[in-house]
Structures are given as C-alpha cells and as structure tokens.
Amino acid sequence: MTDEKTILVTGGAGFIGSFLCESLLEDGHIVICLDNFHTGSKKNIAHLLHRHKFEVVRHDVTTAIALEVDEIYNLACPASPIHYQFDPVKTVKTNVMGALNILELARHTKARVLQASTSEVYGDPAVHPQPETYQGNVNPIGPRACYDEGKRCAETLFFDYRRQFGLDLRVARIFNTYGPRMRADDGRVVSNFAVQALRGEPLTLYGSGLQTRSFCYVSDLVVGLKALMAAPVGTAGPINLGNPVEFTMVELAELVIELANSSSPLVYMPLPQDDPRQRKPDITQATERLGWRPTVPLREGLGHVIAYFDAELGRARPALRALDAAMPVPSGLVAGVGAGHHGKGSGNGADTGFERGRVR
Ligand code: NAD
Ligand code: UDP
C-alpha cells in the first residue's frame, strides 16, 4: 500500500469516476467523491458507501469549494454528445468555471491536480493517428463546440496556472472509453449497440458506419490515469490515454451482435454534424513516460459490457453469464454482471489487446 492521501474525484459518481474512486480506495487512500449527479448516479457508488475512507459531497464544480486534499482528479463533465448538448451553456460553464474552481482549490491546498481532457480537442483530425503535438481541427461554433472548446479552454487554464502559479498538474487526453456502468440511455455507441442488440432492436449506424474509433476498456484507463498522477513532478502532459486499435462502427456493430448472440439488423441514420471521421491515439508518450499500455482487447471488454447491460435490463441469460465469468476481470476493478461482482485479475499481460488480429 502507498502512503495514505486524501484524494478528491470530481464527477466521481459517473462511469469512469466510480471505477477510479473504487481503485483509489483499494490503494488505501481516503477518497472524496464530488458530484452533482447530472449524469452520474448514486447506484454507481452504492457499493462504496460503507467504506469508512469514502465520502460523498453533492456539489456543482461551477461553484467554488474549500476542501483539504492532496490530489485532485477533475472528471466532472457530461461526456456523451446527447448529454453535453442538452444544455450546452452549462457544459461550457462546467468545463471552464469548473476548471477555474478546481485549479484555485489546487493552488490553495498545493494539491497535485489531473484534468480529464479528451481526444475531442483534436476535433475531426487531419492527422492520423493523433499525437499530442497535433493542435486539432475543431469547429468553434458547432454543436460539439460546448464540449470540445470547453475542454480546450480548460487545458489552457491548466497550463496558464502552471506558468503563472507553478501548479503541479497533469492533463490526460482520454480517447473513447467504455465499460460497465455506462448508462443505458447514454447515447454513446458502445452502450447503444449493446442495449439494442440485447433488445433485438436494429443497431443504429450513423452515416456510412465507416468512421473509426479506438475503444479503451475502463480498467485500462484507470491504471493510466493513476500512472499519470504518480509520474514525477514536471510530467504535465498532455498525454493521450486510449487503446490504439481502430475499428469502424460497422465492425463494432458486427462484434456486438456476435457476442450478444443477437439477430438484430443494422439500420443507417444521418451522421450528426461535425462527427469526427476517424480517431486513433498515438500512445508513444504514455508508453515511454508512464510505462502504460492497454491490456484488455475489445472482444473481452465488450463481453463484460454486454453481460452488464443484460443484467441491467433484467434478463441475464445463462450463456452471457458464462461468457462474462470466463473473462478475466482486469486490475482488480469491478466488472461483469451487476455492480457487486468483484475480482482481481491478471491484467492478462500476454494478451495486450494491441494486435488487431487477436482482438477480433
Ligand atoms: P459521466 O457523464 O458518466 O461522468 C461525469 C460525471 O460528472 C457524472 O457523475 C456527472 O454527474 C458529473 N458532473 C457533470 N457536471 C458536473 C458539475 N457541473 N459538477 C459536478 N459534477 C458534475 O462521463 P464519463 O464517461 O465518466 O467521463 C468522465 C470524464 O472523462 C469527463 O470529464 C469526460 O469529459 C472525460 N472523458 C470521457 C471519455 C469517455 O469515453 N468516457 C472520453 C474522453 C474524456
Ligand atoms: N454512433 C453510431 N450509432 C450510435 C451512436 C453513435 O453510429 O447509436 C457513432 C457516432 O456517430 C460516432 C461514433 O459512433 O461516429 C462514436 O460515437 P460516440 O457518441 O460513442 O463517441 P464520440 O463521437 O464522442 O467519439
């Protein structure tokens, strides 16, 4: 166990935040989960409430807060396009005012602070794969701008606070991450496809379905976030965290249908405005500076997600439970059917999830 720290996780009741809180508790730290429960839920953290080192604060990051903490992970922000576009002005406020308030807290407490930034700062990228040096191609007035430009401005604030006040900070550019505890109505592609396949409904492909994304399982991301936080002073980043194995949305749909043993058809719908055509992280920096690389192949991670949603939808089937049970649970994180299924896994070192041929 490491030295005990008091760690604030904003957005801690969300999808990624709840796994991060859990992992930090496992490491022996005191964890303060701050959330306004906009897209997060108490259910995501219900299994942690009995832990004496776990505290929950209902608070909105757009308002300043005073807490004594050693480290801060700033995750508060809706991540799904339908949720962040529902109230775009609020999304900008959460990103910009939230970052300012969290940076002020870090300045006063001298806490190390990590910002959950995003691959969306690259917009619809003209460089492929995307290294951290690429400055992006973002439409500043489109429907995604509240999120993309909000996150870009947050990065600006982080680096200005570093230059002006000498803050010890880290910026992670997170690429598409998936796992159990995504909301069934989240609207992102993995949860949509899993729920549609399980319900026997058509899988909704936007545009040609040939646009690409690279999907990182949540346990891999949590390891990466903690590695970035633990890196030596001066490792500010930004650093890409994501799985560099790239898939078209058609390939993803076919894999989900296969794993869910579904006979759902595919249906094509209009492509949303400014939808990036391709996305794949260059993770050289993360590998060389943090020794980090993803370990969970998409096929394995999707198995956990499908079993999770099957249970959520109240119809867990024996075949899916067997599929989920057969898959190693990585990095000591919760996965699989329901929120209470714990397990320490190997991380499956030999099966890196990198080789496309191994994944599909
Ligand atoms: P999520 O929506 O599940 O979690 C976000 C959490 O922040 C929720 O619990 C929500 O209630 C909370 N929140 C939102 N606005 C808030 C506010 N004003 N004050 C306090 N709490 C607030 O999303 P997620 O997928 O877990 O994403 C977490 C973070 O990671 C976000 O900052 C997101 O931008 C970033 N990120 C996620 C992905 C991904 O693929 N999931 C990719 C890139 C970046
Ligand atoms: N997408 C899709 N069908 C869906 C939801 C999303 O084809 O039901 C597409 C979407 O247009 C995008 C990709 O899947 O090209 C990833 O979308 P998501 O919202 O998950 O993440 P982001 O666009 O933020 O990467």
Is 214 close to ligand 2, i.e. is its CB under 6 Å away? Answer: no
Structure tokens given for 314: 């109240």
Give residue 358 CA to ligand 1 midpoint distance, Å: 31
| Angle in degrees, CA 179, 180, 186, rounded to 5 | 85
Q: Where are the domains of the chain?
A: 6-326
Give residue 296 CA to ligand 2 midpoint distance, Å: 21
- For all residues of the chain together, what is the average pLDDT? 88
Alpha helices by DSSP H, 34-141? 42-45, 81-84, 88-109
75-101 tens-digit pLDDT:
999 999 999 999 999 999 999 999 999
Question: Residue 155 phi/psi, 5° resolution?
Answer: -60, -40
Does 45 have pLDDT greater than 50?
A: yes
Pairing of β 212-214 and β 246-248: antiparallel
Range scoring the smallest mean pLDDT among 12-16, 31-35, 172-176, 342-346: 342-346
* CATH code linked to domain 6-326: 3.40.50.720
161-209 tens-digit pLDDT:
999 999 999 999 999 999 999 999 889 999 999 999 999 999 999 999 9
Atom of ligand 1 nearest to the CA of 35: 21
Shortest-distance ligand to the CA of residue 118: 1
Pocket test for ligand 2, best of 188, 251, 264 (most atoms within 8 A of CB): 188
pLDDT at 2: 60
Structure tokens given for 355: 């080789």
Is 176 close to ligand 2, i.e. is its CB under 6 Å away? Answer: yes
Give residue 189 CA to ligand 2 midpoint distance, Å: 5
How much is the pTM? 0.89
Structure tokens given for 16: 């990624």
Does 114 have pLDDT greater than 90?
A: yes
- 318-326 and 298-312 helices cross at what angle (nearest 10)? 140
Cα separation of 309 and 343, whole Å?
19
Pocket test for ligand 1, best of 39, 41, 67, 83 (most atoms within 8 A of CB): 39
- Count of Cβ atoms closer than 10 Å to residue 137 Cβ: 13
Does 344 have pLDDT greater than 60?
A: no
Nearest one of 10, 71, 23, 118 to 332, comparing CA atoms? 23
CB contact at 8 A, 229 and 73: yes
- Count of Cβ atoms closer than 10 Å to residue 91 Cβ: 23
